[in-house]
Amino acid sequence: MLPTVPWSEVERRARTLPGGPVVRSGGADDLTVRGLVTDSRRVVPGSLFACVRGAASDGHRHAAAAARAGAAALLVDRPVTTDLPVLCVPWVRAQLGPLGALLAGDPALELGLVGVTGSNGKTTTSALVGGVLEAGGDRTGVVGTLGARVGTRSRLTALTTPEAPELHELLRWMVDAGARRAVVEASSIALDRGRVDGLDLDVAVFTGFEEDHLDHHGTLEHYWASKARLFEPDRTAAGVVVVDDPWGRRLADQARVPVTRVGTASDADVRVLGWRTGAAGTELLLADDTGGHRVRSRLVGRVHVGNLAAAWATGRVLGVPADRIAAGLAAVAPPRGRGTVLGGSGRPVVVVDYAHTPRALAAAITTARDLCGPGGRVHLVLGARGRRDRYKRQGLGESARAADCVWLTNEGSHGEDPAAIIAELRVGLFGTNAAVHTVPDRRQAISAAVRAAGPADVVLVVGRGHETRLLDTTDPRDAVHLDDAEVANTALIAEHGPPARGVGRAERAS
């Protein structure tokens, strides 16, 4: 339950931010508000409506609608015509974190917080850290791409990192459910837009880095700097950084907080000495300042080696005993759409994964190759999202050359021409020895790949992972249901029959 907050307290918190004057107009001293809202359609009586300027809309234009819905007051950064009390600030977005925290009752002050950022692996690493902290005895909430959960409760979220008011409300929900810690995925765009403002982290985790989201950031340097912002002293007390790429080493060298280095390098504080992976999961041998440790996980694929090591290091930084960390890592189920394994036991293996960058795709194909039986082939179902990160499509095609058979298809064109997207992917495949098929209908492409696969083969379906809605126009109301794992499982049963009794997953070893 969100608290009611005096209007004077809202003004006082707003004035704590530097940058310019804060002007209060109207509102008696006994006025109270409950909740901070950035969407006028979500206003309820008593809300404080924040008029946020966005790329496609300006909340100031919806002030009247918010007033009609019962908003108690407005937060603005330009004049509006209204009879409601108004707090005018230099920039509304900068206030969303501090005021969102205040109007949720400052739940972050009651939680030990971990933030996870990186180009790939945020969702998996967040789940692993959550499992470690639970095994250490603290009820732990997790907020990220797959939604928010604490204990057996869950909520959907529209963004990897929700807007600050929603994020602080989720943290309040977790505190009310008995949580003592929380893990938050922090995307680079969220860091740019202040969505994690108002959080004071115990540990920030960096999983790795490659080109992504340049349609938002413009340059690779700006993209990296956005992620590095999580490791500033006013945001976190400590860092855990995977240093197996140059960007991670750079961050570890430049961060002004204590950093635990993770990786295969000889100077890593948590060092990966060896690993093996197969359909049954992944096993690591790690070394830290307490000696060697063997870690087992149900996660499939070498891509998770760094994620597991980072979660181990985070647990050690937070004082979780080694045996509890190992138990927590072993208990975590693969997050939905992150290396989800279907089939096997005489049927082809199907792997559904979110891999949507060239390096992540290359790693996913390597994992698929590990899961092939003798003489087996990798069938790749590949698309690219419309109106997003067009620059990386050729790179995805280049990574796809490592597959034996590629099924180019639609991944959700969002109003762009699907044929043009597929043509850009095909440029990267130029010169490949792989058989390349174009099947624009995604259901048909997945089904065709499963039909073509033999018992020793692996079908790798990438790009959407957990997502269940596919959109081919610019209107979200036109989205249709499409779950890659659901389609693949239906095709497996139709073409190869149900799994053998008592067998629920692939048993093939690498």
Q: Which residues are annotated as a binding site?
A: 40, 160-161, 187, 195
Measured between alpha carbons, how far is 93 from 64 in angstroms, rounded to an integer? 19
> Which residues share a beta bridge with 155?
148
Which tokens belong to 155? 């909520």
C-beta of residue 119 within 8 angstroms of C-beta of residue 395: no
Counting runs of H as helices and runs of E as strands, what totals does the chain give? 16, 26
With residue 461 as reference, give the H or E element that holds it. Answer: strand 458-462
Other Cβ atoms within 10 Å of 247 Cβ, number: 21
How would you classify the pairing of strands 405-408 and 435-438?
A: parallel
**Other C-beta atoms within 10 Å of 341: how many?**
24
Distance between CA 53 and CA 414 in Å, rounded? 23
Distance CA 236, CA 86 (A): 33
The burial class, CB within 10 Å (0-12 / 13-18 / 19+), for 267 is exposed
What residues pair up with 88 in beta bridges, in sequence order?
Answer: 23, 76
> Tokens representing 58?
């300006």
The whole-angstrom separation of Cα 2 and Cα 7 is 15
CA distance linking residue 275 with residue 320, whole number of Å: 23
* Range list of H helices, 241-303: 246-254
Whole-number Å distance between alpha carbons of 118 and 375: 35
Containing H/E element for 357? none
Q: What is the residue whose two structure tokens read 């990386």? A: 392
Retrieve residue 498's tokens: 């149900």
Please choose, from the candidates 305, 245, 300, the residue with its C-alpha nearest in 3D space to the C-alpha of residue 275: 305
CA torsion 14-17-18-24 (nearest 10°) is: 0
Residue written as token pair 């340059």: 219
Q: Is the Cα torsion angle 317, 318, 321, 324 positive or negative in sign? A: negative
- Residue 53's φ and ψ, nearest 5 degrees, are -85, 125
Report d(CA 195, CA 214) in Å as an integer: 19
The Cα–Cα gap between 341 and 352 comes to 7
